[in-house]
């Protein structure tokens, strides 16, 4: 075991012992039976106080800030050659809902902000119809962080190079619910070839996090018949998050 690991273990034992003393003192002062203190998991606190040394090329154990810097300088695939800005993601932290889209378009590439073009404004309106917003309780990110030229779909090797970033983002955001918007996000994170039409309407788990799939706003702008199913998906999200919808059906 390395020196830092030994120190982390010592701190963890001391914290556990301190909690036990507090419980014993409380029991004695209140005249209660002294019960054993349950074993606590201090790993998050330890990661903050005594982070383990990191491989700078790996997202493992990275903080939000470190991840952001890695994305900013990323040259893992050819998309770095044509981008103007990387688009990390944005929104509220903590977030009740995390939305994952496909990748930046022209406006996002020009500004460095996720979902700010026509599709983004539409997505914001879906969220606001159920009382959610990226300023209050939603975090938004994409599968790839750089714009594919001509807005083509990201290629398999580009997704493979970039996906560790969004996976780490999901771990760090820890939303109550994950919403995968469009086929690229759902296929990449649920490891399936099924289309959105087959996947939407039921709950999945991505790394233990309840997950829903819906259409991509750009697709719905092109095909208004998809508006109804998207509204059904929004109602499912509201119901899962216990958000009352006054009389809308
Ligand atoms: N489409 C996406 O999937 N993401 C964006 O950020 C913008 C458009």
| Mean pLDDT taken over the chain | 95
With a 6 Å cutoff on the Cβ, whether 120 touches ligand 1 is yes
Q: How far apart are CA 84 and CA 115, in angstroms?
A: 16
Inter-residue contact 140 to 237 (CB < 8 Å): no
First to last CA, the chain: 59
With a 6 Å cutoff on the Cβ, whether 158 touches ligand 1 is no
Domain 54-240 grouped into CATH 3.40.470.10? yes
Which ligand 1 atom lies nearest to the CA of residue 182? 3
Q: Global pTM?
A: 0.84
Q: How far apart are CA 29 and CA 18, in angstroms?
A: 16
State the distance from the centre of ligand 1 to the C-alpha of 234, rounded, in angstroms. 18
With a 6 Å cutoff on the Cβ, whether 103 touches ligand 1 is yes
- Nearest CA residue ID for atom 7, ligand 1: 115
- Segment holding 108, helix H or strand E: helix 106-111
61 or 149, higher pLDDT: 149
With a 6 Å cutoff on the Cβ, whether 109 touches ligand 1 is no
With a 6 Å cutoff on the Cβ, whether 154 touches ligand 1 is no
Q: How far apart are CA 144 and CA 147, in angstroms?
A: 8
Q: How far apart are CA 44 and CA 51, in angstroms?
A: 9
Q: What is the pLDDT of residue 246?
A: 79
- Per residue in 15-44, pLDDT (tens digit) is 999 999 999 999 999 998 888 888 988 988
Inter-residue contact 151 to 106 (CB < 8 Å): yes
Which ligand 1 atom lies nearest to the CA of residue 181? 3
**pLDDT category of residue 47 using cuts at 50, 70 and 90:** confident
Q: Which residues of 174-207 are buried (b: 16+ CB within 10 A; e: fewer)?
A: ebbbbbbbbbbbbbbbbeeeeebeebbeeebebe
Q: Which residues pair with 138 in a beta bridge?
A: 97
Residue 52 has a CB neighbour count (10 Å cut-off) of 12
**pLDDT category of residue 245 using cuts at 50, 70 and 90:** very high
The domain locations on the chain are 1-46, 54-240
Q: Which residues of 143-167 are buried (b: 16+ CB within 10 A; e: fewer)?
A: bbbbbbeeeeebeeebbebbbbbbb
Q: What is the pLDDT of residue 33?
A: 87
User: Which pair of structure tokens corresponds to residue 44?
Assistant: 């998050």
Q: How far apart are CA 41 and CA 5, in angstroms?
A: 15
Q: What is the pLDDT of residue 67?
A: 96
With a 6 Å cutoff on the Cβ, whether 102 touches ligand 1 is yes
44-48, 67-71, 120-124, 129-133: lowest mean pLDDT where?
A: 44-48
Q: What is the pLDDT of residue 34?
A: 84
pLDDT over 80 (residue 169):
yes
């Amino acid at each position: 075991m390395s020196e830092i690991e030994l120190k982390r273990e010592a701190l963890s034992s001391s914290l556990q012992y301190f909690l036990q003393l507090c419980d014993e003192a409380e029991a004695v002062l209140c005249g209660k039976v002294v019960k054993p203190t349950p074993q606590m998991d201090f790993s998050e606190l330890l990661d903050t106080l005594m982070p383990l040394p990191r491989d700078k090329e790996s997202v493992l154990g990275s903080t939000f800030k470190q991840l952001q810097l890695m994305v900013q300088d990323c040259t893992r695939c050819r998309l770095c050659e044509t981008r103007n800005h990387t688009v990390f993601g944005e929104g509220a932290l903590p977030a009740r809902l995390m939305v994952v889209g496909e990748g930046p378009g022209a406006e996002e590439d020009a500004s460095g902000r996720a979902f700010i073009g026509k599709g983004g404004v539409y997505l914001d309106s879906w969220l606001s119809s159920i009382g959610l917003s990226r300023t209050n309780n939603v975090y938004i990110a994409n599968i790839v962080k750089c714009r594919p030229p001509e807005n083509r779909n990201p290629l398999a090797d580009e997704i493979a190079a970039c996906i560790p970033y969004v996976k780490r983002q999901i771990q760090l955001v820890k939303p109550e619910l994950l919403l995968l918007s469009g086929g690229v996000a759902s296929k990449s994170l649920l490891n399936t070839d099924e289309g959105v039409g087959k996947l939407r309407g039921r709950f999945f788990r991505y790394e233990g996090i309840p997950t829903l799939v819906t259409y991509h706003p750009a697709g719905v702008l092109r095909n208004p018949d998809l508006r109804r199913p998207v509204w059904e998906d929004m109602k499912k999200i509201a119901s899962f998050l216990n958000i009352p919808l006054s009389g809308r059906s």
